[in-house]
Amino acid sequence: MKAIKTLLLIAVIGCGITTMFGQSWTSISQPSLAESMAASAAGTKLVGAFGDGGIGFSTNSGVNWLFYNGLLHPNTVAISADGNTLCGGGGGYYFVISTNSGTSWNQYVNVPAGQFIVSSADGSKLLTAMGLGNRTPFNTTSGALYTSTNFGVSWITNKVPKAPWQDAAASADGNKLVAVVNGGGIYTSTNFGNNWISNSVPSALWTGVASSVDGEKLVAVSAMGSLDMYGRLGTNGLIYTTTNAGINWVSNSLPNTQWHAVASSADGSHLLATADIGPVLYGTIFSIYSSTNFGVSWVSNDAPVTAWISIASSADGCKQYAVTGYTASPSGLYCSIAPPAPVLNLSPSPTSLALSWLVPSTNFILQSSPDLISWSSITDAPVFSPVSLQNQVNLSPTNSAGFYRLSTPQ
């Protein structure tokens, strides 16, 4: 069989090259004052913990919301990559989950859904923590990490030190985990929490952490810095990044402030960090900073200076969200959108031609052409992989040359 000759046309203008200027943020009509928020891979489906308002979920980028009020004051949420599995926790031992985009919910009591909930891309694997001082009917042991492999039906305790675990993140398959301690260090696991190792980073008030889809590129932020010679925490917040799953970390060059939350694109290149506007002793307070080169350089965003409580990003990093806390002014949900430029990948074999691309925040159509003049849409529906967050189309091989591109609908 003759080899397939294929030319891949890849856009060169998009959010991946916007490194000189900060992003602009637009207020969205939505319920405000969330405690936690998460976004699907495409960035169109959102879930939020709205305190006494319950768990809110949106299928149109936060313009309209539906609510589930069956959970007592939810304070943390998670969402699967396709947006179909939603879950939330609150009260230290309440946990709810929906596997059908919020149509129906299952509630579990006496499970350790406390400080945060982290989900694998398919929603089946979950990681949560009970903060120090949380004593519930589930277990009187506080300051522990727990994992579930069956959508939260049952949980097991991880072998980690008792600590005030503040935040965590997971690779798409859920196997690689990272968790940070408020006033301690950073821990990573490569086998879904069966074993953990302490990373070589300064002790700090770590407040947030995010992961790339493969779990190799991590970013962590802190509200205050490392211990001084007298054992006191410094006043300079830190942002650290790693490209090898926590083996080596580097400190990013950023203003001194109390960093509160962080989000990452699937490949780890697009990062978003927010700063708390509470008092600091030194330095300047900035509300939102972003990076498009894996944290090498950062720019201040054109966003309101307010108390950003939670942020989220689409897989391509071109649709990002930030929501304010209860005492914020101005308050609400804000969105920043940049034009995506997905890269089209080719994997030929004797029996098929696989074309794949990272799920974008804007819909794209796969097209083919024999001559680069006339183009036709390929009718085969792409299959989404929750492990790679890629859309893939497998085509039958031909003996003729062909050209392929991704195009936005007219």
Residues 277-300: pLDDT tens digits?
Answer: 554 444 455 689 999 999 999 999
pLDDT higher for 240 or 233?
240
With bands split at pLDDT 50, 70 and 90, how would you rate the model's confidence at 327?
low
Query: Do residues 163 and 184 touch, judged by C-beta distance below 8 A?
Result: yes
Is 12:289 a contact under the CB 8 Å cutoff? no
Nearest in space to 217 (alpha carbons), one of 182, 262, 249, 174:
249
Checking if the pLDDT of 11 tops 50, the result is: no
pLDDT at 235 over 60: no
Binned at pLDDT 50, 70 and 90, residue 266 comes out as very high
CA distances from 77 to 21, 68, 148, 245 (A): 31, 12, 15, 24
Give CA–CA dist 295/38, Å, rounded.
Answer: 21
Taking the CB of residue 379, how many other CB atoms lie within 10 A of it? 8
pLDDT at 225: 55
Burial bucket for residue 299 (CB in 10 Å: 0-12, 13-18, 19+): middle
Q: Which CATH architecture has domain 25-337?
A: 7 Propeller (2.130)
Whether 89 and 74 have beta carbons less than 8 Å apart is answered as yes
Checking if the pLDDT of 22 tops 80, the result is no
Give mean pLDDT, residues 194-208.
92
Question: 270 and 194 in contact (C-beta within 8 Å)?
Answer: no
The third-level CATH classification (topology) of the domain covering 6-10+343-407 is: Immunoglobulin-like (2.60.40)
Domain ranges of the chain: 6-10+343-407, 25-337
